[in-house]
Amino acid sequence: MQNTEFQTGTISPVEIYKEAWALIKDRYWLVFAIVIVGMLLGGAIPVVLIGPMMCGMFICLFDLIDGRELKFETLFKGFDYVWKSLLVSVLIVAPILVMLFTIYIPIIGMALAGPRMSESELIPFLIGTFIFEIVVVVIMVCFHY
């Protein structure tokens, strides 16, 4: 196990950006391509592919930080961690889906009601929906995992 040195003090965001730029500037376009391809492939089937793609991107960045050779193929080493990353992906996507359902179900209800819903019914319905969504957001923030 290697000895890790901890430093105390304030963090300077400008210095962090300078260090990060110094780290990637020689291989900027390769890092850019790895991130773009990883995000595009991960976004294709989010629950299944986003985890391995994120792991692959981080493996590439860790290789860069450790001074190892950066290779595009390393992006796909994230699939070695597909089951562990799948669990994390589900835990990230589940609250997003809950929030999307709470937004779209009332909209679908209004569309199905159509002309049967008068303006005097629509305003309270929208206010109630908005309050319900705020409550769901507060619950999700308070009870995150």
What average pLDDT does range 49-65 have in this prediction? 94
User: Is residue 42 within 8 Å of residue 49, measured between CB atoms?
Assistant: yes
Residue 5: is it exposed, middle or buried by C-beta count within 10 angstroms (0-12/13-18/19+)?
A: exposed
Looking at residue 98, its pLDDT comes to 83
Per-residue pLDDT at 39 exceeds 80: yes
Residue with the bigger pLDDT between 123 and 53: it is: 53
Give the domain ranges of the chain. Answer: 13-142
What average pLDDT does range 66-90 have in this prediction? 92
User: Is residue 74 within 8 Å of residue 60, measured between CB atoms?
Assistant: yes
What average pLDDT does range 35-51 have in this prediction? 91
User: Is residue 99 within 8 Å of residue 56, measured between CB atoms?
Assistant: no
Question: CA dihedral in degrees (21, 24, 25, 31; nearest 10)?
Answer: -120
Per-residue pLDDT at 95 exceeds 90: no
Angle between helix axes 46-66 and 28-44 (nearest 10 degrees) is 160
Mean pLDDT over each residue of the chain, to the nearest integer: 88
Amino acid identity, residue 32?
Answer: F
Please state, for a pLDDT cut of 70, what percent of the chain lies above it.
Answer: 97
Per-residue pLDDT at 2 exceeds 70: no
The pLDDT confidence band at residue 1, using thresholds 50, 70 and 90, is low
